[in-house]
Amino acid sequence: MRASRAAGVAVALVGVLVGGLTTPAAAQSWVTVAKSRQLRGQDFLDVRVEYAVGRFELRRGPDHLLYRLDSRYDEDAFRLSTNYLESRGRGSLVIDIEGEEDVDFRDIKDYDYEAGHLRLDLSAAAPIALSMKMGAVEAQLDLGGLRLQRLTLETGASDTRIRFSEPNRDVAETCVFKAGAAALKAVRLGNSGCRRINISGGVGDIELDFSGKWDYDATASINVGLGGVEIRVPAELGVRIEKSTFLMSFDAPGFIKQDGGVWVSRNWGTAAHRLTLSVSGVLGSIEIARL
Amino acid sequence: MLKHLRLAVALLVAGLIPSPLAGQATQAADEILQTSIVLSGDVTSLQLELANGRALRIQLSDGEVLIDGKEVGRYVPGGLLESAWRDLLREAGKSELTLAWPGFVSTEISTPEAGATAAIRGAVGPFLAAASAGPAAAAAEVASEIAEAAAEAAAASATAAAVEIATQQVSETSLSELVSGGLVVELSEVEGLARGLSRVGLAPELTRVLNGDLEGPVRIVIDADSYVLPEGVLLDHRLVLVQSDGVIAGTVLGNVVVAEGSLIIKPTARIEGDVVAVNASVQNQGGTIVGRLRDVSHFRPILVVPSASQRIRIQRIVPSAFSRVLGGLGSLARTIAMYVLFAFLGGLVVYLFRGHLEVVSDTVSYSFGRSFLAGLAGQILFMPIGLVMAVLIITAIAIPFYVVGFALLALLGYLAVAHAAGENLTQHRFPSWAARLRRSNSYYYVLNGLGVLLALFAVAAITEMLYPLLGWAHDLLIASAWILTWVASTAGLGAALLSRAGTQRSYARPHQIPELPVDTLVEELRPIEHRADARHRAGEESDES
């Protein structure tokens, strides 16, 4: 009797706690801001994007425009800041959409954050260094055909899909992907032209497809905390895997195991171009497949 | 002399600022550097930033059509013009203004909006004509439509307003700077302003923007169509352009700040300090910047509203004494409400789980340090454990129970700390055993303990009413109250974890029969017994009588 009464009170307490959080959704004031800038002889563009919540799309735009952005956000909850600086032909574009400090996130229930978006088109005519920080963002990036020289992507609790639909028109020395509690999918990384790829994930699934145009050698470092990593590499590419994992299953069919936690593809000695993968992780699984 | 000077200024400006008239604009048309569009519920605007530093702004707001801040006509909200204008901006945002423009031009808009429509077409069209004459496929078609629109605009009476805007009066801020429209403010020093702004929390932003350089004069240009510092001219001020578009070809002895505007730095320019962009665009065409070119994001602009008499009103929100008292009373009411809520929950817990609560309370009292560390570990591990549960799909279903269980454990811990605090308080407040015995119950402990835990919030609420005098004390009390709350919650949570929600006494004070000071107690209770005997005897005597 006493136990059932206690259970009833516990349920009532949970009801009080949960009920206290379910306040009505706040009104939203949506604003659309679009900006575009003509290409006028700029020989470099440094792009930095910070985006808190919403959907983010990035792709190649018309060559005569240096950049074009189209954003939609709730001006009661977020602030947009865009700065463009140019000196001696080198441009710097900073786009920042962050939450207002006084936003009452207790009203988060029913808040339509996904209705906000940021679309960014970049010119393929100017070399680009791209740095992006995402919060709770659903991101779709097609970086194909750009003149990408450097790439950094940091995500929080986001779902990020990166695609290099066309080969990079420049050489990217480093490409860094840092995923927090997030899903990250990168497709046709071979087109990225990245000589050094660094991928780290906290919690979540990572899917890496290294297909594309390989006319160079590259190294990739993949570090995962918790979660699964699925890697696909083209058959013609020579691949060497250096594994350093703890409580992680590892499955690499078709690879030859060597000493010291090293696996190599059968064509490692003969392939025209090579990819060295350094994989480390704590808990989860790693699957590597040949395409 | 003055006439010559004005003429020279007018000629110079005529060379620097292109008129939006169709004939003259052709040359400047391909010099659009940036297009900015804003679409919100009640305001729509288009801004074209030109290569020469000038900008063209068209805004539809509150039934007024404004070109560079001047009203050129009216529109019917929700009417044809607004609809076509919104379509234009929406399409231009997705693609390009040049491609979207023919749709706007071809829309037939009748009176009373025809004048405003013609003014917009006349102002924007010429800038797009040459731009579209380049690589665009439909160049000829677009150009002809634009030319038609320009002709229409020329015929419309509203064009006069556009011409007036283009040739608006040029003012001189000094003998050599040129400012078109807007407002120029000169401050001998910023430090005083910074002190004033610090009260509303804006000083850090101002300092950040000016790069900590608060000494010396500053010139602020607000809402100007153009600001020009010609070649060879020396400005011994720092320069702040707010919602203005500027060109610097001369020398500035200090920082230059551009907030929500644009700046072009010509090859002849020299800027001795930094150039700071705040939601703005800056193009250095080869000038010398001794400092750095940098950007500052998310600056909260000072709300400067130029009135008709061109005076500045700086909106500062300083709470009145009455609102402070109200705020303090509100805080006090919230604290009392929290007390009542926790008292109610505490009463329930004592009634239903007194044994568990006492064990947790004893654990806090007996092993406070251990409890605090355990609570700290619990707080740190809460998220990682939750994430692990989320990853391992089988346990994901238990996450709601995990969260609710954790919350209930924290609540039990907090109430247990209140219980322990109340118990200790009772022992110290009432050294007399009789008095202590009368108050030896958990309800009393919890109510008193909650009073102790929330007392700092209540005192802080009182000091909030006297904030100008006791602001420091209020801040100190609030900080202390939160620290106390966190420490109590952490230790309570730890004690609840260590005692398995009050089911194990491993870290609690062992059960022991208190060594009652019998003699003292008897002495204290004797007067009470005497009084009871006296009453009893008096009762018997009255019965006998």
What is the rounded distance in angstroms from the CA atom of residue B159 to the CA atom of residue A190? Answer: 57
How open is the CA angle B376-B379-B381, to the nearest 5 degrees?
Answer: 105
How open is the CA angle B102-B108-B110, to the nearest 5 degrees?
Answer: 145
Residue A226 has pLDDT above 60, yes or no: yes
Alpha helices (H) along B287-398? 321-366, 368-391, 393-396
Look up residue B160 and give its two tokens.
Answer: 């006069």
Contact B271, B238 (CB under 8 A): no
Residue of B30, B31, B34, B59 to mutate for A, most A C-beta atoms under 10 A: B34
String of DSSP letters for B241-259: EES-EEEE-SEESS-EEEE
DSSP strands (E only) in chain A: 30-38, 44-60, 65-74, 78-87, 90-99, 117-122, 127-142, 147-155, 159-163, 172-181, 183-187, 194-203, 206-209, 218-233, 238-245, 248-251, 256-258, 262-264, 274-290
Contact B259, B275 (CB under 8 A): no
- Per the prediction, chain B carries an average pLDDT of 74
Looking at the partner chain, which of B37, B295, B297 has a beta carbon nearest the beta carbon of A33? B37
The closest alpha carbon to B190, from B283, B100, B302, belongs to: B302
The closest alpha carbon to B300, from B333, B271, B277, B278, belongs to: B278
Contact A105, A135 (CB under 8 A): no
- Per the prediction, chain A carries an average pLDDT of 84
Q: Is B476 exposed, middle or buried (0-12, 13-18, 19+ CB in 10 A)?
A: middle
CB contact under 8 A, A13 and B408: yes
Contact B126, B20 (CB under 8 A): yes
Provide the pLDDT confidence category of residue B524 given band limits of 50, 70 and 90.
low
- Hunting for tokens 């792709």 — which residue is that? A59
CB contact under 8 A, B37 and A29: no
Residue B16 has pLDDT above 80, yes or no: no
Strands B251-252 and B270-271: parallel
CB contact under 8 A, A96 and B96: no
Q: Is B508 or A41 the better-scoring residue by pLDDT?
A: A41
CB contact under 8 A, A35 and B279: no
Give B309's DSSP letter.
Answer: T
- Hunting for tokens 């070649």 — which residue is that? B231
Contact A211, A248 (CB under 8 A): no
Question: Is the pTM here over 0.80, yes or no?
Answer: no
Helix, strand, coil in percent for chain B, rounding step 5: 55, 15, 25
Condensed to tens digits (0 to 9), the pLDDT of residues B301-360 reads 433 333 333 333 334 445 667 777 888 888 889 999 999 999 999 998 988 888 888 899
What is the predicted pLDDT for the residue at B182? 67
Contact residues on chain A for B399, CB-CB shorter than 8 A: none
CB contact under 8 A, A31 and B39: yes
Under 8 Å CB-to-CB from A41, ≥6 apart: which residues?
A89
CB contact under 8 A, B293 and A87: yes
Q: Is A280 or B150 the better-scoring residue by pLDDT?
A: A280
Sign (positive or negative) of CA dihedral B343, B348, B351, B357: negative
- Hunting for tokens 């998220």 — which residue is that? B383
The closest alpha carbon to A201, from A253, A131, A154, belongs to: A154
Q: Is B469 exposed, middle or buried (0-12, 13-18, 19+ CB in 10 A)?
A: exposed
What is the rounded distance in angstroms from the CA atom of residue B53 to the CA atom of residue B258? Answer: 12
Coil/strand/helix, residue B306 = strand
Condensed to tens digits (0 to 9), the pLDDT of residues B389-409 reads 877 767 777 888 888 888 888
Contact residues on chain B for A226, CB-CB shorter than 8 A: 387-388, 391
Q: Is B514 or A146 the better-scoring residue by pLDDT?
A: A146
Condensed to tens digits (0 to 9), the pLDDT of residues B139-163 reads 444 444 444 444 444 444 333 333 3
Summarize the confidence of residues B434-441 as an average pLDDT: 62
Residue A201 has pLDDT above 80, yes or no: yes
Q: How far is A269 from chain B (nearest CA, A)?
A: 39
Provide the pLDDT confidence category of residue B98 given band limits of 50, 70 and 90.
confident
